[in-house]
């Protein structure tokens, strides 16, 4: 059981880092979109923002599933759920 708990703790940390990367990419793309004048590039950047939104939803789904698991420290899963529940646009 300890191995499962340690693995899940590591997984939660990895997913939190993944969410941070999604948010950082989102902010970067928003800056690029605000300055972009090329329509084809705007479309490509728009597709990338859609992909990031979908990734956030995937992470949120995983976080919800983890909150139902018998973890040693459920606070990590709750934190991940909080991170993924926040909208990307600030």
Model's pTM, two decimal places?
A: 0.82
Sequence spans of domains, the chain: 2-85
Contacts 24+ apart (CB under 8 A), 10-17: 11/66, 12/66, 12/76, 12/77, 12/79, 12/80, 13/76, 15/59, 15/62, 15/63, 15/80, 16/76, 16/79, 16/80, 16/83
Give 29-39 pLDDT, tens digit per residue.
999 999 999 99
- pLDDT beyond 70 at 44: yes
Q: Which pLDDT score is estimated for 71? A: 82
Closest by CA to 7, choosing from 60, 69, 68, is: 69
């Amino acid at each position: 059981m300890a191995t499962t708990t340690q693995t899940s703790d590591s997984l939660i940390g990895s997913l939190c880092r993944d969410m941070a990367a999604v948010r950082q990419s989102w902010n970067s793309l928003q800056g690029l979109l605000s300055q972009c004048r090329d329509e084809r590039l705007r479309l490509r950047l728009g597709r990338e923002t859609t992909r990031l939104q979908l990734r956030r939803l995937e992470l949120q789904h995983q976080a919800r599933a983890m909150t139902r698991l018998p973890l040693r420290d459920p606070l990590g899963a709750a934190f991940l759920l909080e991170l993924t529940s926040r909208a990307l646009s600030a």
